[in-house]
Structure 1
Amino acid sequence: MAVYNNPIVLQRADPWVIKVDGEYWFTASDPNYDCIAIRHAKTINELQKAPETVVWRKHESGECSKYIWAPELHRINGAWYIYFAGAEHEFEPNGMPTHRMFVLENTDEDPTTDNWVEKGRIVTPMDSFSLDATTEVIDGVQYLVWAQKDYDIPGNSNLYIAPMANPWTLAADPVMLTKPEYDWECIDFLVNEGPAFLFHDDKIYITYSASGTGVPYAVGLLTAERGADLLDPKSWTKSPVPVFRTCAENGQYGPGHNSFVKSEDDADDLMIYHARNYTEIEGDPLFDPNRHARVGVVRWTESGPDFGVPEPDVVWSPTTTNVLPADGGPLAGTPVEAR
């Protein structure tokens, strides 16, 4: 029975973890937003001390020269792929960021080699702000789910799904799954972003994050039946309330942009997410580096997944005024325990 110590990786937002042949592979947004790095370890708790390998750096100019956000590492048909968002300019004339989605490929067995090839931009029918691409092969079909701006819909981003012809090309026009509509999705910004697939029994779930990236950030949930037409919005049911949100009692604020991975013994589904442990943020929350990667255990009920609440820190973590000590000294608290 594993016991997890939060945070699991310091100063890494938008954490993405996959498990391949018993090894955990981790990537996330670098706080400088200028590169993509990978680390790996045999256990979740070992990820903080695992060495990082930078596998790609931003361009000097043009596409992908600014704000490299939310990389995801995937293993598809024997090759490694990284999906990420990058910008060319700070903002478009309308005030939106200029991010688009891009794909890297590596056919080596080890994804930390320097043989990553740029496969280019994922082209969508709307040429607009887009980010947070995630992918899953379901019943032989590869799907892409991502966040994108529709200028006919108020807000920053909605979630879309489309089948893929190959890991960097859509095979059909996208379908919108959800847009910000509930009050909890529309605090500071109208946002649906950061999708992640989760499977259990005969259900397919997609979590996503909503509202501004500070304290209001929260996680929503879409649910579909296995075997349903995933490209039909009517196949998906949306929770009217957030399923994971700030827990002031535990000192955890703005949890979200998560991924899912199996525990070391494969008995539990783990939710890997980021959150801060303080609320006083100077300037834009995106440029505060202390969104740390954390882990929680998903509990399954008759009505679906129960994500609980963000657990308190048990490992020292930096704040805006603290410097990380050499030993990352422990805090008093209760580690997250798997069943």
Structure 2
Amino acid sequence: MDTKKSSKQQKTLKTYRTVIVGAGPAGIGMGVALKDFGVYDFVILEKGLIGSTFLKWTTETRFLTPSFQSTQFGLLDLNAVAINTSPAYSSGKEHLSGPEYVHYLNRVVYEFQLPVHEEREVMTVVKRDRDFVLETVDAYYVAEYLIWSTGEFQFPNDRPFPGAELCIHNSRIGSYRDLLGDDFTIIGGYESGVDAALNLAMLGRETAILERGTVMDSKSQDPSVTLSFYTKQRLDETTAADGIRLEERTEVKKVTHGGNGAFRIHTGSGYYESPTPPILATGFKGGEEQIHDLFYNTGGRPQLNEWDESTRTPNLYLAGPHVMHQNVIFCFIYKFRQRFGIVAHRIATQLGMDTDAAVKLYRRHNMFLDDLSCCQEDCKC
């Protein structure tokens, strides 16, 4: 590694072969994959602490996908980001909280000796000839390869319609116990919306969910576009769900102030009134928003080639929940981790390394998905 002082900026210049931005599950998993494929000259930059966005989860939020320690049978824990690791084993839990998952990520960093630089927020990214130059508060990081792994949680879709500033996005709620009032309206009816409603109902609060589509009768087998069976089970098993009213095919157009301090939620056919600020369960934007000019976009998604590389900027790779190919959405950990090996293999191959053994290892553990035809919905019963 080359280190110098810039007399003009008084910032350190640090040079690596590869820089990974983001130390969440995508960034940590990519770091392990690079090592497994023989790439060691890299650094992971994290603007906060390792997995810090999980520490911002609402206190009551838990993972949808269950963790189960089954590595001894060659089956990877659904929420693991590295081979021979298991969040279930590290936490003793099946549906982990945010802090419990952060503990797992820190264990992975320690066990695999990953070079993570915390509290290094990337302020600008510039492509100069073959290299990327990333500016932080105290240094310039120069790299030939850049892997963007910042996730989505820190980029809430909190302005989906006029008047959204009168609402509160569910990602900014510390605990549902802290919300004042007994009657709430939630805009958005997929996982985060139903989870909010269930947690409020368990506290004895009344909730109405306004969903522009349909979620309960979806025929899709993909949990990326419909409610998970775990969430449906929670709805079925709790009597508190009686306090939840679901209004499907109800698209919100805007929110305004109503009378007596209430909030008026306007739809295409009328309006609803809520005595408390509406809760937005409207999802998130992609973490690549910060460097959107380095991607071509289609339908709000970055265009990627077969190696998850930007079609606009060579050697720029995307890892994490915003990866999408042929209508296959990789928004869960057990999905997007299957592309870690693809990116690591591509970089290692360009560096002239023999990757045969690593590819075989990753294929054996379902961590090297290069045939998307296997992702079609074909469950018979």
> Fold match, TM over 0.5?
no
More helix by share: 2
| Larger gyration radius, structure 1 or structure 2 | 2
Superposition TM-score tier, normalisation by shorter sequence: under 0.3
Tell me the TM-score normalized by structure 1: 0.27
